[in-house]
Structure 1
């Protein structure tokens, strides 16, 4: 019987193959980013209603039918993504964007570029109301457990990028 990690790895490999067959470049040479996430959140008045392109690692993802809430994190902090099915197009090979129906191919840990309007949700959270998503890096491995993190000091030293990422996530 396969372990849970082996199942996750097989599932991610299937997603990678599917995206490749769709003609999506999983590791593009260029990306766009107009501001850091913290800058947009802290200066909402300056960016409210403007179309922005932000980038970061997917740290949270919650699907509610035709509505998805996510969080991306860059070196400065996190911002919420607010994704509605009726505001996103379908996957476009030419533009290298992922459509709403194909968002299931994304995983926590992937780096993405999201373009949309800066808004506040009903709960008052500064968010990016997404119109387009582009994959910047497809993660092959899951992130360490967010509560426990990396427990082996040697592994934390060897994989410093993961250790630091988890420490930033915990706040």
Structure 2
């Protein structure tokens, strides 16, 4: 990278606080999934146990309830995987070079949602704007937009936790790229 490059990093203190909050959310999701699996498993087993005590349990009934136990088992496995996850926030939010804009990969707090991959966009044709905080977005954000033919791509970066002024990023992308 040259001296004309801009690298926007997340503030270290804020990054640590967000990672801590993410770990708590992931842990809560894992515990809730395990609790749901246990309750669902008990509710599924109770009719089978009642039928066995009454002498009404047939092979078909056992097979059906055995198949129904696969759902709480899958939820329990998801819960254990959530408890093992350690989401991290990347150090770099965005890097702007004379020819491209680089975004870091992001992990999401939910194990169901996939990871947001790292991307590199051509600088030409990429715009940025600052969106102020609103009811749904508790912090201001920088929204990067790129039109590739008919496809519009967007990427959002929190503006309040960067080590540089977000207006600098918007100004740099608003002007012509320097070679």
TM-score, normalised via structure 1 length: 0.28
TM-score, normalised via structure 2 length: 0.27
Considering fraction of residues, name the structure with more helix: 2
Considering fraction of residues, name the structure with more strand: 1
Q: Which of these two proteins has the greater Rg computed from alpha carbons?
A: 2
